[in-house]
């Protein structure tokens, strides 16, 4: 099972906006890759962001966009 987020799923899990996610990707603060026209963010990036910034998870086991 692949645990990668869509931008929407990651934004929901990190409790930030989609625009902020795209800005973080562009700035190199967040690793992402493309699958055709879809941007994917590895599950580990959310865990890293939570640990570095000490943010609380938002139901990471049942996030939309986690595939």
Q: What percent of the chain has pLDDT over 90?
A: 58
**pLDDT at position 31, please?**
95
pLDDT over 70 (residue 7)? yes
Q: Which residues lie closer than 8 Å to 9 by C-beta, 6 or more apart?
A: 63, 64, 65, 66
Q: What is the pLDDT of residues 13-23, one digit of tens each?
A: 888 999 999 99
Residues forming beta bridges with residue 6, ordered by sequence position: 40
């Amino acid at each position: 099972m692949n645990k990668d987020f869509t931008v929407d799923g990651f934004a929901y899990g990190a409790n930030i906006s989609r625009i902020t996610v795209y800005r973080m990707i562009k700035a190199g603060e967040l690793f992402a890759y493309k699958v055709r026209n879809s941007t994917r963010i590895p599950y580990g990036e959310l865990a890293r962001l939570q640990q570095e910034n000490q943010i609380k998870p938002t139901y990471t086991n049942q996030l939309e966009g986690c595939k």
